[in-house]
Structure 1
Amino acid sequence: MRLSTVILPTRRWHDGGRDTWLRAERLGFHAAYTYDHLSWRVPFRDGPWFGAIPTLTAAAAATERMRLGTLVTSPNFRHPVTLAKELVSLDDISGGRITLGIGAGGNGYDATALGQEAWAPRERADRLAEFVPLLDRLLTEASVTYEGAFYSAGEARNTPGCVQRPRMPFAVAATGPRGMRLAARHGQAWVTTGDPKLFETGTPADSYEALRGQLGKLGKVCAEAGRDGDELDKVLLTGFTPDRPLESVDAFVDFAGRHFELGFTEIVVHAPIAGSMFATDERVFERIATEALAQLR
Structure 2
Amino acid sequence: MRFAFMPILSDEPSSWPQLLAMFQAADEMGFFESGWLFDHSSSAAVNTSGPCYETWTVMAALAHATSRLRLGTMVLAVARRHPALLAQMALTLDTIAQGRLELGIGAGWRELDHLPQGIPFGTPASRADRLDEGCEILVRLLSGHTVSTHGRFFTLTAARCDVPPVQRPHPPICIGGGGERRTLRTAARWAQHWNHPGGRVEDFSRKRLLLLRCCAQLGRDPSEITTSATIPGEDSAPERMVEEVAQLADAGADLVVLRIRPPHEAARLERLATALEPLR
TM-score with structure 2 length normalisation? 0.89
CA positional deviation for 1:221: 1.1
Note if contact 2:22-2:266 (Cα within 8 Å) is conserved in structure 1: no
The 1:290–1:61 alpha-carbon spacing in structure 2 relative to 1, beyond 3 Å, is farther
Matching of residues 74-85 of structure 1 within 5 Å: 74-85=77-88
Q: What residue in structure 2 maps to residue 211 of structure 1? A: 204
Q: Which amino acid aligns with 1:138?
A: L
CA positional deviation for 1:234: 0.6
Larger RCO (alpha carbons 8 Å, 6+ apart): 2
Q: Say which of 33, 39, 47 aligns to 1:42.
A: 47
Matching of residues 24-103 of structure 1 within 5 Å: 24-28=26-30, 29-39=32-42, 40-44=45-49, 47-103=50-106
Note if contact 1:248-1:284 (Cα within 8 Å) is conserved in structure 2: no
Q: Say which of 211, 219, 224 aligns to 2:217.
A: 224
What RMSD over aligned residues (CA atoms) do the two structures have, in Å? 2.2
CA positional deviation for 1:217: 1.1
Instruction: Deviation per CA, 1:236-256: give whole Å up to 9, x if none.
Output: 0114xxxx8544333322221
The 1:164–1:116 alpha-carbon spacing in structure 2 relative to 1, beyond 3 Å, is closer
SS of residue paired to 2:227: strand
CA positional deviation for 1:17: 3.0
The 1:194–1:16 alpha-carbon spacing in structure 2 relative to 1, beyond 3 Å, is closer
CA positional deviation for 1:12: 4.5
SS of residue paired to 1:25: helix
Instruction: Deviation per CA, 1:20-58: give whole Å up to 9, x if none.
Output: 2112223331100101221241114xx211111110111
Q: What residue in structure 2 maps to residue 124 of structure 1? A: 127
Note if contact 2:147-2:157 (Cα within 8 Å) is conserved in structure 1: yes
Q: What residue in structure 2 maps to residue 192 of structure 1? A: 196
Question: In structure 2, what is the Cα distance between the partners aligned to 1:27 and 1:270?
Answer: 18
Note if contact 1:142-1:161 (Cα within 8 Å) is conserved in structure 2: no
Question: In structure 1, what is the Cα distance between the partners aligned to 2:68 and 2:266?
Answer: 23
Q: What residue in structure 2 maps to residue 6 of structure 1? A: 6
Q: Which amino acid aligns with 2:46?
A: R
Q: How many residues align?
A: 273
Question: In structure 1, what is the Cα distance between the partners aligned to 2:261 and 2:196?
Answer: 20
Q: Which amino acid aligns with 1:32?
A: G
Note if contact 1:111-1:119 (Cα within 8 Å) is conserved in structure 2: no
SS of residue paired to 2:175: strand
The 1:91–1:283 alpha-carbon spacing in structure 2 relative to 1, beyond 3 Å, is closer
Matching of residues 141-180 of structure 1 within 5 Å: 141-175=144-178, 176-180=180-184
CA positional deviation for 1:263: 0.3
Q: Say which of 230, 235, 251 aligns to 1:237.
A: 230
SS of residue paired to 2:74: strand
Instruction: Deviation per CA, 1:262-286: give whole Å up to 9, x if none.
Output: 1000001123314xxxx9x975542
CA positional deviation for 1:106: 1.0
Q: Say which of 115, 119, 133 aligns to 2:136.
A: 133
Instruction: Deviation per CA, 1:109-159: give whole Å up to 9, x if none.
Output: 112132245311111111111111011111112432221111012222212
Question: In structure 2, what is the Cα distance between the partners aligned to 1:144 and 1:237?
Answer: 34
Question: In structure 2, what is the Cα distance between the partners aligned to 1:122 and 1:185?
Answer: 17
Question: In structure 1, what is the Cα distance between the partners aligned to 2:64 and 2:119?
Answer: 35
Q: Which amino acid aligns with 2:28?
A: R
SS of residue paired to 1:36: coil
Q: Which amino acid aligns with 2:37?
A: T
Question: In structure 1, what is the Cα distance between the partners aligned to 2:37 and 2:195?
Answer: 14
SS of residue paired to 1:161: coil
Note if contact 2:201-2:244 (Cα within 8 Å) is conserved in structure 1: no
The 1:100–1:157 alpha-carbon spacing in structure 2 relative to 1, beyond 3 Å, is same
Question: In structure 2, what is the Cα distance between the partners aligned to 1:189 and 1:150?
Answer: 24
Q: Which amino acid aligns with 1:216?
A: L
TM-score with structure 1 length normalisation? 0.84
Question: In structure 2, what is the Cα distance between the partners aligned to 1:247 and 1:12?
Answer: 22
Unaligned runs of 5+ in 1: 196-206
